[in-house]
Structure 1
Amino acid sequence: MAETINRGGAVDALVDDLLALSRVLVGLTARTLAALDTDVTLPQYRMLVVLAGRGPQRPVDLATELGLHPSTITRTSDRLVRRDLVQRHHAEHDRRTIRLGLTDAGKELIGEVMRRRAAELRELIEPYGPDLDLPRAVRAVVSATGEPSEAEWWRRWSESARLGSA
């Protein structure tokens, strides 16, 4: 797999950098959620983000958007309703139609996570100055967090199932 990723060229290098950045952002999000002591998992957070960005959704539409089975959406939304982060709305024209939307607490949680993530990213990028171009910015964030390059990640991945090596 690593051989197909690392072909060389500007596009492939940017793809590699973006993949490494995606790992940084997932880690940053997980740390932020943990720091807020929210008891919200990353998949639950992703659902909240979609609801924040797209507004109330029918569960079936949310399942399609997230690439999940509708029953998974039902279980996840049940948990988020119990935490008062999501609420169910019944359509006025058809009481059988349910839409899921954020509560004020859900909206505030998403806002706080986004603000904290932006502050941490700003802190990582500011030392490089205002003229930092996008590819360099991506590499700077990845490097500043200690995340391995894409090539190094794939090397580590290929060795990750070997027992007794450390």
Structure 2
Amino acid sequence: MHETAAGEDLVDALISASRALVAVAARSVSGLPSEVTLPQYRALVVLASRGPQRGVELAAELGVNPSTATRLIERLVRADLVERRPVSGDRRAVSVALRPAGIRLVRTVTRRRRSEVARIVAAMPAAQRIGAEGALRAFADAAGEVPEHGWWLGFAMPDEDEHRA
């Protein structure tokens, strides 16, 4: 089955928009106290949106090999952004969870990103904004993204003392 010309136009538009969003994402993590790469940040967002994950689950979500995820997790542990926790009922298994510093980083980056995206949206002609929200939500749903209101808006930061115990 061949894509229609309209379908190809939509793909082209989404590719262009994704380049712009990748640039926004790169700028939002640049200059942070912790040197965090975009793949590492993506792992933090997965943990923020879906909760603690085993390494293999995180690898699958990120679309990387488990060994790549293990190295990524190790860097995040050394940066004190995540921690490994034992999985109850399985002495050999561990899950990865955000530490308070990881939560703060996700919040900081998300605020930066939201601010820049809001600036870009405000620069769009009003008539072009109509329908964009629904189309972009449908795209994100099809990609398996957790809606923003599903995690970020209700994301409570755990008490830091709880993690020190």
The reply on whether 1:15 has 2:37 as its aligned counterpart is no
Partner SS state of residue 89, structure 1: strand
Partner SS state of residue 77, structure 1: helix
**Aligned residue identity for 1:85:** L
Q: Post-superposition, which runs of at least 4 consecutive aligned residues in structure 1 deviate over 3 A?
A: 127-131
The count of aligned residue pairs is 132
Alignment of 1:9-48 (within 5 A): 9=6, 11-48=7-44
Matched residue, 1:82: 78
Q: Select the structure that is richer in strand.
A: 2
Q: Which runs of 5+ in 1 are unaligned?
A: 139-166
Assess, with a 3 A threshold, how the Cα gap between structure 1 residues 72 and 128 changes in structure 2: closer, same or farther.
closer
Higher radius of gyration, 1 or 2: 1
Q: Which runs of 5+ in 2 are unaligned?
A: 136-165
CA displacement, residues 38-77 of structure 1 (integer Å, 9 cap, x when unaligned): 3011111111111111110011111112121111111111
The reply on whether 1:107 has 2:110 as its aligned counterpart is no
Amino-acid identity (%): 45
Deviation at 1:12, TM superposition (A): 2.3
Alignment of 1:83-162 (within 5 A): 83-128=79-124, 130-131=126-127, 132-134=129-131
TM-score calculated relative to the size of structure 2: 0.71
Matched residue, 1:149: none
Deviation at 1:35, TM superposition (A): 2.8
**Aligned residue identity for 2:108:** E
Deviation at 1:134, TM superposition (A): 4.2
**Aligned residue identity for 2:130:** D
Q: CA RMSD in A?
A: 2.3
